[in-house]
Chain A
C-alpha cells in the first residue's frame, strides 16, 4: 500500500494536476474569504466553508478522474494487479494519496481561521472556534466521500473525462437527496431517501454539532465506495 500511496502522491506533482487542483482550491477559498468575511466584516467562516463545499463537488472529481481510468488506459494495471499486493492495498493507497492532496488544500481554511481569530481577539471579541472545527471536520469527511466516489467512478471507465463528468454528476446527486425526498409522496420512501441525504448531515457539522451518528454515516460511505471500487476491479478480471 505504501508503495502505491507514495507513487500516486508523487504523480500529482509530476503532472500539472496537483498544482492546478491546489491553485484553484486556494484561489477560490481566498476569493470566498474576501467575499463572505473580509468585505462584509463578518468573523464567521461558515459561508466560506459552504462555498468551498460546492467548489469541492466540482473540483475533487478532477483530482480523482485518472486514479483508475489512467491505469487501465496505460495498461499499468497489468503491473499493479500482477504484483504481490492486495486489492485493498491498491485501492487504499490511491484513496489516501488523493486524500492527502485534498488535506493539503483544505488546511488553508484553518490558516484563515487562525488569521481571523487573531483579528477578532485584537478587537476584544471571542472567536467561534466550535463552528470552525465543525465546518472543517464536515468538509474533510465530505471530501473523503467525494474522493472515494470519484475513484469508484474512475474505475468504471478508461476515459478520464467521462470519469470526471460522471463524478461531478454523482456528487451533485448525492447532495440533491434532500430536495428529492421532499417531492416523494410515499412517506417511507421519502424517509429512506432523506436518511441517505449527505447535505443535511453535512449542515449539522457546520452548526458545530459533532454527532457520532453522522461521522459514522460519512465513514461508512467512504468504506462502501472503496469497497465497490475493489469489486469493480475484481469483476473485470472475471469478465
Chain B
C-alpha cells in the first residue's frame, strides 16, 4: 500500500531524512515515532507530495508520488501537523470545498454527514472555523482528511490539542478506520502509538532506528530477564530464599516499602523463567507476593534508549536472537 525506499531529503546541507525505508500494508496502522525534529513531518510531507524527496522513492498504491502526483494523491487523506483550515469559512463550506477539490464522486450530502458524525462535529457545521476551539479545529482537519474515503490516511499528530475524552474518541476512530484503511500516524506520545498502532517505526535525526511491533521492540530490548517483586516477610530471610533459586544471578534489595514489605529486583540467567520458582518458595514459607512484574521496558524507556543512541546495537542483537 505504502512503500518507502531509501528516502532522503536534505534542507541545504542538513539532512532531514536519511535513507529511510519502510512499508505499510493494507489495513495496517503504522505508528511513526520520534522526538521533535526527527524528520517525521518531513517524511509525511514527502509521502503526500507536498515536498519532493532528494533521493529514493515513495510509492502509494504502487504509484510513485513524484511521477504521477495527481493519481497518487487521489488515494491519500492527509492531516498535517497544523490543520490546513481556511479560517474565514464555515465548517460546511470548508468541507464542501475539500469535497470538490478532491473531485470526490461519493454522494455529497450523505458522505459529508457521515464524516461529520464520525469525528463528532455535526453541531458546529454552521460555524465559522475562526471561532472554533483548538479541539474542534483538529477534528475538522481530520474530517477533511476523510473526505473522499481515501485508502491511505496520513495523520501527523492527530490528537494534539484535544482533551482526554476526545483523545480516546479519536483513537477509537483511528482504530476503526485502520480496519479498512492504511493509516500512518505520527506522534511523540508513546502511549498513543502503543494503544493504536500495529507496528512502530522509530526515527531519530532522520534515520530509521527501529521498525517492529511494540511487543517485539520491548522484548528485544530488555535482553536481561529481570523481575521486580514486592514480598511481605523478613527482608533478610526472603533475600536468602531468593538467592537459593537456581538460575538466579543477582538479587538486589530495592527499597523497604513498610516495615514488613520489601521490593527486590531479580536478575536471572538469560532465557530462564523464574516466576514459578519464586512463587513456590514464598508460598512454602507463607510470605505473600504483593507484586511481581517483569522489568520489560515500557515504550517510554525503549524510546529513550533508541533515541539517545545507547541501544542502537542492542536491537540488532536482540533481533538476531
Interface of B is mostly: loop
List, in ascending order, chain B residues with CB within 8 A of A80's CB.
84, 101
Does B76 contact A238, Cβ atoms closer than 8 Å? no
Closest to B87 in A: A74
Interface: B5 (CB within 8 A): no
Whether A4 touches B85, Cβ cut-off 8 Å, given contacts A84-B70, A84-B74, is: no
Closest to A76 in B: B84
Whether A238 touches B88, Cβ cut-off 8 Å, given contacts A83-B101, A84-B73, A85-B101, is: no
Interface: A15 (CB within 8 A): yes
Whether A82 touches B78, Cβ cut-off 8 Å, given contacts A3-B100, A7-B97, is: yes
| CB 8 Å contact bits of A1-39 with B (1 = contact, 0 = none) | 011101100110011000000000000000000000000
Query: Which of A4, A77, A237 has a CB less than 8 Å from the CB of B52?
Result: A237
Does A238 contact B101, Cβ atoms closer than 8 Å? no
Does A85 contact B70, Cβ atoms closer than 8 Å? yes
Query: Which of A14, A15, A79, A86 has a CB less than 8 Å from the CB of B144?
Result: A79
Interface: A75 (CB within 8 A): yes
List, in ascending order, chain A residues with CB within 8 A of B51's CB.
237
Query: Which of A2, A6, A11, A237 has a CB less than 8 Å from the CB of B50?
Result: A237
Report the number of A-B residue pairs with Cβ-Cβ less than 8 Å: 72
Tell me the smallest distance from the CB of A50 to a CB of chain B, in Å: 35
Interface: A126 (CB within 8 A): no
Interface size on B, residues (CB 8 A): 29
User: Interface size for chain A: under 10, 10 to 19, 20 to 34, or 35 or more residues?
Assistant: 20 to 34
Tell me the smallest distance from the CB of A80 to a CB of chain B, in Å: 7
List, in ascending order, chain B residues with CB within 8 A of A2's CB.
100
Closest to A3 in B: B100
Does B80 contact A3, Cβ atoms closer than 8 Å? no
Interface: B59 (CB within 8 A): no
Interface of A is mostly: helix
| CB 8 Å contact bits of A65-76 with B (1 = contact, 0 = none) | 000000000111
Tell me the smallest distance from the CB of B262 to a CB of chain A, in Å: 55
Closest to B12 in A: A239
Does B98 contact A79, Cβ atoms closer than 8 Å? yes
List, in ascending order, chain A residues with CB within 8 A of B319's CB.
none
Interface: B124 (CB within 8 A): no
Tell me the smallest distance from the CB of B1 to a CB of chain A, in Å: 17
Does A3 contact B73, Cβ atoms closer than 8 Å? no
Does A11 contact B88, Cβ atoms closer than 8 Å? yes
Does A11 contact B102, Cβ atoms closer than 8 Å? no
Query: Which of A7, A82, A83 has a CB less than 8 Å from the CB of B86?
Result: A7
Does A78 contact B80, Cβ atoms closer than 8 Å? yes
List, in ascending order, chain A residues with CB within 8 A of B86's CB.
7, 11, 74, 76
List, in ascending order, chain B residues with CB within 8 A of A84's CB.
70-71, 73-74, 102-103
Whether A3 touches B52, Cβ cut-off 8 Å, given contacts A74-B84, A82-B73, A86-B70, is: no
Interface: B48 (CB within 8 A): yes
**With the chains together, A14 CA to B129 CA distance in Å?**
12
List, in ascending order, chain B residues with CB within 8 A of A173's CB.
none
Query: Which of B71, B74, B84 has a CB less than 8 Å from the CB of A75?
Result: B84
Query: Which of A4, A15, A81 has a CB less than 8 Å from the CB of B49?
Result: A81
B47-95 with Cβ < 8 A to chain A: 48-52, 70-71, 73-74, 76, 78, 80, 82, 84-89, 93
**With the chains together, A138 CA to B57 CA distance in Å?**
49
Whether A14 touches B76, Cβ cut-off 8 Å, given contacts A3-B97, A4-B101, A81-B49, is: no
Tell me the smallest distance from the CB of A63 to a CB of chain B, in Å: 16
20 residue pairs of the A-B complex, CB under 8 angstroms, read A7-B97, A11-B86, A11-B89, A14-B88, A15-B88, A75-B80, A76-B85, A76-B86, A79-B98, A80-B84, A81-B50, A82-B50, A82-B78, A83-B73, A84-B71, A84-B73, A85-B101, A85-B103, A86-B70, A237-B50
Which A-B residue pairs are the 7 nearest by beta carbons? A79-B84, A3-B100, A82-B48, A14-B88, A84-B73, A78-B80, A3-B101
